[in-house]
Amino acid sequence: MKKRTIKSKLAISITLFALPLMTTLSFGQDFFKAHTNINPYQYEIAKEKTFEHAAVSSAHALASMVGAAIMQDGGNAFDAAIAVQFSLAVVFPAAGNIGGGGFMLARKTNGELIGLDYREEAPAKASRDMYLDENGNPYPNKSTRGAMASGIPGSVAGMLSIHAYAKIPLAKLIEPAIELAAFGFVISESEAKGLNANRNNFIKNSSSESAFTKKEIWKAGDTLIQPELALTLKRIQEKGAAGFYEGPTADYIVKEMSHSGGIITLEDLKKYSPKFRKPIEFDYKDHHIISFAPPSSGGILLAQMMKLIAPFDISKMEHNTAASVSLMVEAQRRAYADRAEHMGDPDFWKVPTKTLVSDHYLKQRMADYQPGIKGSSKITNAGQIHESEQTTHFSIIDKEGNMVAITTTLNDSYGNKTIVAGAGFILNNEMDDFSLKAGVPNMYGAIGGIANSIQAGKRMLSSMAPTLVTLNNKPYLTIGTPGGTTIPNQVYEGLIGIIDFKMSLKQSIDEPRFHHQWIPDNIMLETEFPEETEKALKAMGYNTLKRGHFGRMDGVQISSNGKRIAAGDKRGDDSVAGY
Ligand code: GLY
């Protein structure tokens, strides 16, 4: 695979460029001075590599390199995860964040599983119909743009909770992010495109100018410096949670709210705390799969879909043929119908998790499946239960075998397109992940009902599926991806590729993907999807739609000889690092 180099076009030394910042804000360059092999002004994207001890795969080369360096300095996978998340908040502003939320799924070497939910939460002033006009119709863009679209951010509180499992002082783990923000880093072509495409949105939705908008258009090789974000990170470094949820940062967030009618208060911020969730676990053909529980639908959907197809020998049907895709789609149809009806924040809605993933229930769900015959979303609805696209993922395995999978999100690319004045970070538009009105689709076309209706203090239903796999009770794989409602399907297809079709991690990640989510009743296919299969699916009666890429899957796998194989998705700038 050809390596891509991202380098500065500036002839002047970047240190000179950043000198005024360094003195006024009194920042050092301790981390990058100590790790001279990482150069934020010239670095390479590495898509697949095998390492002896530890590896990271993330959406950005610099974040992966920071994570690997932290582990080489004696940190474990949790230390690396914290450093990667804060670094992504700087180098991948479209989704890496401190203004959003996420889920961490981890397995310690002693087998202990940790599911940490730092998902955003509806503010105290939120209410069921807050995005509906007087006729009961959703206001355009109110749940997606501007301060009103944001839930209370959870990422910083999440990182502080994860620190309980880490070895290195928090201040050191935040340091690389501070330096990247204060001294800048060189952006790639896709980053330049993303910033240019969102320029008008940033200006329209934010109360003041920010580091993301400049007079000229952004080009690959430009340096992005974020002084306000550097100061915010410095406050977190010095004061921990209080550096974000109280004091100047909290004041800046609340001030930004008043600019476009947002409702997050100082009290909401002070009260936010992450929650531990018991992961979803199931077996699939010798592999033990672990994924995230509600308020994400990801783990339940993955368990349902893999268990629904387990009785069929899919490996004989061959990869991405009409037979294998049709089988997998019929499982997707059934699982996503259940998502719309039964899934929401378990603290507000009794999610029938046990039943939804039980063998008995799933056997009934597939009873009307006929190989080669298209199902119908008019006929297949959610099961009767009788009992009480822009996100980012990174995967880490350290030298001891601790596995961490984190999927974190602002929801849409660059969230609600609002940069908090004075604090320099983008806020999420996660409120759109609630069901604004029963049966009305959100930005991913997903519908929902009362299980996922808005209530103060409730967490909106997610599709994120940070996933771990063990083999013979030993760590084997960590994987995940962004992509809204396509996430569980991508992880499902990735795992089936590895387990049933015996693909390498990299091949399985790069293969063309398909997506069905019950409603609308069509299969979305990536542009490169085999035409022959599409024709055969159409002949079976399926409605197919070609669309661009979805997701950017990043994983780390342990080989039979104990090495760490890391793979980053071809679909983005995703890059791996390790040692
Ligand atoms: N915002 C995307 C998700 O949580 O599923």
Each residue's pLDDT tens digit, 327-384: 999 999 999 999 999 999 999 999 999 999 999 999 999 999 999 889 988 888 877 6
Q: Which atom of ligand 1 is nearest to the CA of 463?
A: 5
From residue 170, give the alpha-carbon distance in Å to each of 79, 234, 360.
8, 11, 46
State in Å: Cα 444 to ligand 1 middle: 9
426 CA to centre of ligand 1 in angstroms: 16
Between the CA of 517 and the centroid of ligand 1 the distance, in Å, is: 14
Residue 475, in any domain of the structure: no
- Asked whether residue 17 is assigned to any structural domain, the reply reads yes
Nearest atom in ligand 1 to 444's CA: 2
Residue 87 pairs in a beta bridge with none
> Ligand 1 centroid to 233 CA: how many Å?
24
Token reading at 63:
């974040």
In the prediction, which pLDDT does 26 show?
66
Give the nearest ligand 1 atom to 464 CA.
Answer: 5
Residues contacting ligand 1 via CB (< 6 Å): 391, 409, 411, 430, 433, 462-464, 484
Q: Which of 144, 391, 392, 481 is catalytic?
A: 391
Here the contacts of 9-16 (C-beta below 8 Å, separation 24 or greater) are: 9/219, 9/221, 9/222, 10/41, 10/221, 10/223, 14/40, 14/41, 14/183, 14/184, 14/223, 15/183
Low-confidence ranges of the chain (pLDDT < 50): 1-2, 11-13, 387-388
| Ramachandran region, residue 347 (left: φ > 0; alpha: ψ -120 to 50; beta: rest) | alpha
Query: Best mutation site among 117, 433, 515 for ligand 1, i.e. most ligand atoms within 8 A of its Cβ?
Result: 433
- Residue 460 CA: which ligand 1 atom is closest? 4
**Residue 385 located in a structural domain:** no
Q: Would you state the pLDDT for residue 442?
A: 82
How much is the pLDDT for 8? 74
Question: Quick one: residue 420, left, alpha or beta (phi over 0 = left, psi -120 to 50 = alpha)?
Answer: beta
- The pLDDT, as a whole number, for residue 447 is 81
| Residue of the CA atom closest to atom 4 of ligand 1 | 462
Strand partners, 462: 296
- Could you tell me if residue 446 is inside a domain? yes
> For residue 366, is it within any domain?
no
* 218 in a structural domain: yes
Q: Give the C-alpha separation, 9 to 151, whole Å.
A: 38
Give the Å distances, CA to CA, from 333 to 308, 363, 518, 519, 523: 11, 15, 4, 8, 10
Q: Is residue 413 classed as helix, strand or coil in its secondary structure? A: coil
Structure tokens at 14: 């970047």
How far, in Å, CA of 407 to CA of 479, rounded? 10
Ligand 1 centroid to residue 464 C-alpha, Å: 6
Inside any domain, residue 498: no
Instruction: Look up the domain containing 428 and give its range.
Output: 3-276+391-452
Q: Where are the beta strands (DSSP E) in 312-402?
A: 390-397
How high is the pLDDT of residue 378?
A: 85
The pLDDT score that the predictor gives to residue 380 is 83
pLDDT for the residue 388: 43
Q: How far apart are the first and last CA of the chain?
A: 19
| Residue 309 phi, psi (nearest 5) | -95, -10
Among 434, 461, 464, say which to mutate for ligand 1: greatest number of ligand atoms within 8 Å of CB.
Answer: 464
Task: Write down the pLDDT at residue 12.
Answer: 43
Task: Say if 330 falls within a structural domain.
Answer: no
Q: Is 391 a catalytic residue?
A: yes
Q: Which residues pair with 276 in a beta bridge?
A: 116
- Which residues have C-beta within 8 Å of that of residue 272, sequence separation ≥ 6? 121, 152, 153, 154, 157, 245
Alpha-carbon span 436 to 395, nearest angstrom: 32
Counted domains in the chain: 1
